[in-house]
Amino acid sequence: MHRPLSLGILVFASAVLLSRDAAAYLDPSSGSILIQILLGGVAGIFVLFKIYWRRIRRALGLYRTTESIRTEDQDTPDE
């Protein structure tokens, strides 16, 4: 576990410390594209979460099926 982490830190540190100035120009449309990418990723995560919400609830033990609701209703006495 420590080897990949130390390798990643080494690569990151070398990229930061050995980097040179870039002759690059970012116009306003580049910023809007980056914002669109981020918002699209967030929207994709929410859609994925919505699709798998029932499986997540079932894994956490929070999902109640209609059968379990019916049996609970039958077990409670009427007053």
pTM: 0.46
Residue 67's pLDDT band, with cuts at 50, 70 and 90, is: low
- In 3-state terms, what secondary structure has residue 2? helix
**How far lies 30's CA from each of 25, 26, 33, 49, 56, in Å?**
9, 6, 5, 29, 37
* Helix-strand-coil split of the chain, %, nearest 5: 75, 0, 25
Confidence at residue 2, expressed as pLDDT on a 0 to 100 scale = 66
The percent of residues in the chain predicted with pLDDT above 90, rounded, is: 20
Q: What is the pLDDT of residues 34-56, one digit of tens each?
A: 999 999 999 999 999 888 888 88
